[in-house]
Structure 1
Amino acid sequence: MAHAADANAGGKKVLILYYSWSGNTRELAKQIQAQTGGDLVELETVTPYPTAYNQTVEQAKKELEANHLPPLKTRVDNLASYDVIFLGSPNWWYTLAGPVRTFLSQNNLAGKTVIPFMTHGGGGFANSLKDIKAFCPNATILEGLAILGTRAKNAQGDVARWLHTLGMAK
């Protein structure tokens, strides 16, 4: 992991890119956007996940077991213009949600600073940091933030402290 001094928000173009099924990761993304001034982009799949929790859990498990990457509706055409990418995902089966894995598999983030954030039900980052490093071997990965999904709406203080530590607050 790189140190916070390696990524100063001053003069850098910031993207907050995330996938959210239940809204928890979206909530964190909006808090990060409010405190950094970065551009906010939500990943959407061509075929939305089911609205029922258990069906989504099963679909996510099958996708992971089959190494299936769900096609994305979202495109980030100006990705090259960003220096820093906050990358958000729920923890699904101890790793990144399928839409985030799809994005990482289709985009080269070499030379970018990637800062992970995650919502979870108790598993923290699990394997997600290792997986991000595998998808982004030539990116600088900074310290991430993992928040319990049930705490996401009230995580402004945690987000502010984390961004301050990284030198990324506006």
Structure 2
Amino acid sequence: MARKERVITTIKSEFRLFRQPHKIGDVIEVNEKSYLILGIERFTLYGPWLTIWYTCQNLLVTDFVSMKKAYKEPHAVEAYVRLKHDDNRIKLFELGTVHYIKGQAYKIQEYTELLIKGMDIEISFIGRPIHPVDRKEARAKLFSERRKKLQLEIL
């Protein structure tokens, strides 16, 4: 029995540094199959090579149920950072990391674009705001934990 092809798959692509990588929305050919780039999963920069893992849709597979277009969640922001290609701070902008933008903490959820601009790399991403717990709730939690630590009971 033939294996059913998947609609969504990951494709790894390598680019020489300073060559523009594929963008979300581009159609690429891999093994004589057409794939639509839906997103960027992760990337690495090693010497003169930029490696990108893309989330792609196999355009030859048509037997699936169509869903609504995914939108970024409310209050999420799109931001970008531009760094020199050899700047070690590029490694700080991995998925799941927290960064402050205009005094507000945001967690990187998804990459939206990687651009090569001269000797720089521009990383665009969607960030979800991180909100602290309410003050009263935080104080109550702290008090409860201290009480547990001291093994105190209130009668």
TM-score, normalization: structure 2? Answer: 0.24
Counting strand residues as a fraction of each chain, which structure ranks higher? 2
Whichever of the two has the greater Rg, that structure is 2
Between the two structures, name the one with larger relative contact order (CA 8 Å, sep ≥ 6): 1
Counting helix residues as a fraction of each chain, which structure ranks higher? 1
TM-score, normalization: structure 1? Answer: 0.22
